[in-house]
Amino acid sequence: MSFQTPAPAAVSITDPADPRLDDIRDLKSADKAGRGLVFAEGPLCVERLLDSPYPVRCLVGFAHKLAPFAQRAAQEGIAVYEVSRETLAQVAGFDMHRGLVATADRVEPWSVEGVISQARTLVVMEGVGDHENIGAIFRNAAGMDVDGVLLGSGVADPLYRRSVRVSMGHVLRLPWARLAGGFTTWQRSLAQLADADFKLVSLTPHPEAVHIAQALAGAPKVALLVGAEGPGLTEHAMRATHERARIPMAPGTDSLNVATSAAIAFYERQRSLLDL
């Protein structure tokens, strides 16, 4: 005969100074404060955090926002703190209308080899320093069947709060890892991809590059390299790839946003695998 443990009710906290809420204190500068936590805001991101390899520490939110997660949190032994809108605003430092946030510890869930081993399509970033662009690249990659993300030098932290939010939580589930080496050496790591039979394709607005559709046609495994808006990929990085490909641009216009360019390349990759 066994007894089922009832799900412990959420602990209600009314004092904004309560140390159990320290994880989410002054949330807007939480990343800068170096607490090194992962934050997920809103039901969609919180669910993706719960499904992720990151060990969840606590859930904080309004009663009705916490309710759908109560059973799972109880099963997994995650602390649940119920707060009012006012308390949450005082602790987080702004009016958090979504009313739900979860925190997790950082771990290193994937190795470069792990990301590569099961993948057919990868994206490799270089020099992308903007957290929103990083988040958007993860979102677009997840949406269009990219299997993993590799980071060269100069790429900002994908687990920053804003990246997680813009990625719609996909940065928490799509495998990613940092390639070894600094600014002028990381490109050597690309040899691992070539050895694993990936065709390495650099994305560049250069008019002499081949059309992206031609570069991707018939390649069983593809790794797409994208660089920061403005400078683009370094010559060093492009030299380490098999081909340079472009998205045709109208005369007199600027290159596209890096996440938009990446989305088009992902679309073309997906399209090249179909029999249209």
- Interacting span for its own copies (CB under 8 A) from 77-85, 96-104, 149-157, 265-273: 265-273
Interaction between residue 211 and its own copies (CB under 8 A): yes
- Residues in contact with its own copies, total (CB under 8 A)? 32
Q: With H, G, I as helix, E, B as strand and everything else as coil, classify residue 6.
A: coil
Which amino acid belongs to residue 219?
A
CA–CA separation, 106 and 55 (whole Å): 8
Q: Which is nearer to its own copies, 122 or 240 (CB)?
A: 122
In angstroms, what is the minimal distance from the CB of 48 to its own copies?
10
Say whether residue 41 binds its own copies (CB under 8 A): no
Binding flag, residue 167, its own copies (CB under 8 A): no
Name the segment binding its own copies (CB under 8 A); options: 16-24, 185-193, 237-245, 254-262.
254-262
**According to the binding rule CB under 8 A, does residue 267 interact with its own copies?**
yes
- H helices of 59-196, in order, are 63-66, 70-75, 85-92, 112-117, 131-143, 161-166, 190-195
Q: Which structure tokens are listed for 27?
A: 């949330």
Residues between 141 and 160 with contacts to its own copies, criterion CB under 8 A? 142-145
270 scored as a contact of its own copies (CB under 8 A): yes
Decide: is 120 part of the binding site for its own copies (CB under 8 A): no
Interface with its own copies, residue 84, by CB under 8 A: no
Q: Are 49 and 110 in contact (CB under 8 A)?
A: no
- What is the Cα–Cα distance from 69 to 24, expressed in whole angstroms? 18
256 contributes a contact to its own copies by CB under 8 A: yes
Q: How many residues does the chain have?
A: 276
Q: Quick one: which segment of 11-19, 100-108, 234-242, 260-268 binds its own copies (CB under 8 A)?
A: 260-268
Summary count for the chain: helices (H), strands (E): 11, 12
| Token pair belonging to 26 | 């002054």
Q: Is 254 in the site for its own copies (CB under 8 A)?
A: yes
